[in-house]
Amino acid sequence: MYHFPIRTVALTVALGLGLSAASAQSVYNRGSQGEPETLDPQKTSTVVESDLLLDLYEGLVTYDAKANVVPGVAESWTVNDDGTAYLFKLRANAKWSNGDPVTAGDFVFSFRRLMNPETGAKYANILYTIKNGEKVNKGQAKVEELGVKAVDDKTLEIALETPAPYFIAQLAHQTGFPVHPASVQKFGKDFVKPENWVSNGAYTLKSFSPNDKIVLAKNPNYREAAATKIDTVNVIGIEDRSAALRRFQAGELDSYNDVPTDQIKFIRDNLKTKFKLAPYLGTYYFVFNTRKAPFNDARVREALSMVIDREFLAEDIWGGTMIPAYSFVPPGIGNYAEPAYASWKDMSPIEREDKAKELLKAAGFGPGGKTMTVEIRYNTSENHKNTSVALANMWKPFNIDVKLVNTDLKTHYALLRDKGDFDVARAGWIADYSDPQNFLFLAESDNKGLNYATYSNAEYDALMKKAASEKDLAARGKILKDAEAIFVRDQPYIPLLYYSSKNLISEKVVGYEPNVLDRHLSRFISIKP
């Protein structure tokens, strides 16, 4: 008599009923560009974290498969005549993963937690649109004065400082996601550990193994659980793009959201339809530390920026997958006629070089002057390394000695946010909502967490504040363009390229929809056996 393991018997029964192993347990091996620094919604700021949290939580609004903003926990909402008060009706079937109902009070708790200065939220200012948000976050008002109120368990009222055409889109960002109050109160910062985890999205956190994978399990209490096809999502963080490509080719990854650009020809020739290239609303840039000489001198910053051959970077370094950038706000963004471009955009390379030499000479550097030593920092990626090497080569003829420093994603961005020591550092920004304010607010002097350059310009700040109170969209767009003109003149950041999304998608993946935000929630994906 033969004895079969229980698992084998169960699988045999499943197959005998006409079910495949894949339908018994659908698994999605999803590659990611790195590991999250945190899974606390109120403390996150990176795309890596956002992709995870969009699977784990749901805000008042969310994204559909094409990244359109659609109702989430809120099934509907109304707005008053002047656009300063929103009333949200929450779904009756919205639940936490432990079965508790999601209430308006949970959102009040979470918005107050976001703005409470004791939380230390790096990206709280995204929701300064909420009445008294800035005052609360700066310790100038009590958290109870924040413009968020629970009318009853299923009705939430949010008051704004001024009308904001992008407010609903802001609520799809992870900083506006609710956290489970009882879990936060019981476990403190440890509420994000798998054993303490309670969330309200399509998935829950099953395990987090650093340098291996993060495992998400389908949440049976999610309102759309019946339509969610994937049972388990293995999120595998891989910063080495070439290694990710090899694992994708070997079938170990079903998708990965980047490629090694020095292998673009190979990828296009061999992976063909598995390589998805699409427009992406974002800007790839390098940032100057304006607290530090000589990068506190706008002449030096402009000179270093204008001698960079962006066309070479786009075609030769990035394999034609990026577009040369001469503005910080990418073209095609909503509520904006046209970005403000650098004044030297249409100069010939020789004219730019001559102008750069003049600026460097006036600052005491350049050929015949002092040697400038520059340290470029970048997070792990062949693409970022190759870009940094190219910048070093372009600056070398101007008597500039460059050193490269590489760290992992978490360390790199922690250094920038916490105002660590650096000269020039790689960064990038992907739109959270389609409005120029979402790019330009990064350079406001009081944006402590995200103004990596520590740039400060009173005229710029005044224009941003003026734009925030302007109700007419056309007039507002002109004010924001005036602000961007100051930005591109002062060059605290070096805008280099406008992004395109570069995804590797297995033929087994069903439901992937290219979109300008490159948002792809796992609940819309299924895996063919």
What is 153-185 written as a DSSP string?
A: TTEEEEEBSS--TTHHHHTTSGGG----HHHHH
Same domain, 220 and 328: no
Say if 232 falls within a structural domain.
Answer: no
Q: Which single residue is written with the structure tokens 């650009």? A: 261
pLDDT < 70 stretches in the chain: 1-24
Task: Assess contact for 283 and 428: CB atoms under 8 A.
Answer: yes
Quote the pLDDT of residue 114: 98
> In this structure, are 421 and 319 located in the same domain?
yes
Residue 73, in any domain of the structure: yes
Residue 262 placed within a domain? no
Nearest alpha carbon to residue 400 among 410, 392, 388, 411: 392
Rounded Cα gap, residues 171 and 193, in angstroms: 25
For 114, the 3-state DSSP assignment is helix
Q: Residue 79 corresponds to which tokens in the numbers above?
A: 């707005």
* CATH code of residue 317: 3.10.105.10
- Tokens standing for residue 83: 């656009």
Number of domains in the chain: 2
Same domain (yes/no): 460, 516: no
Global confidence as pTM = 0.88
Residue 145 structural domain? 22-227+506-527
Is 249 inside a domain boundary? no
349 and 428 housed in the same domain: yes
Whether 471 maps to a domain, the answer reads: yes
**CB contact at 8 A, 417 and 405:** no
Residue 15 lies in a domain: no
Largest Cα separation within the chain, whole Å, is 92
184 and 287, same domain (yes or no):
no
Instruction: Locate 64 and state its tokens.
Output: 């559909």
Cα Rg of the chain (Å, integer): 24
Contact 418, 43 (CB under 8 A): no
Q: What pLDDT score was predicted for residue 471?
A: 86
Which strand ranges, in their side-by-side order, compose the sheet holding 155-159? 74-79, 85-90, 155-159, 148-152
516 plus 468 within the same structural domain: no
- 449, part of any domain: yes
Output the domain CATH number for residue 61.
3.90.76.10
Shared domain for 336 and 220, answered yes or no, is no
Residues 284, 195 within the same domain: no
pLDDT score, position 448: 84
| Tokens 């994708």, residue located | 248
| Same-domain status, 369 and 390 | yes
Identify the pLDDT of residue 398: 97
The verdict on 510 and 458 lying in the same domain is: no
| CA dist., res. 118 & res. 41, Å (int) | 15
Same domain, 344 and 195: no
For the segment 317-327, what is each residue's pLDDT rounded down to a tens digit?
999 999 999 99
Residue 124 belongs to what H/E stretch?
A: none
Q: Are residues 67 and 185 in the same domain?
A: yes
CB 27 within 8 A of CB 157: no
Q: Which residues pair with 122 in a beta bridge?
A: none
- Distance in angstroms (rounded) separating the CA atoms of residues 444 and 365: 29
| Residue 275 forms part of a structural domain | no
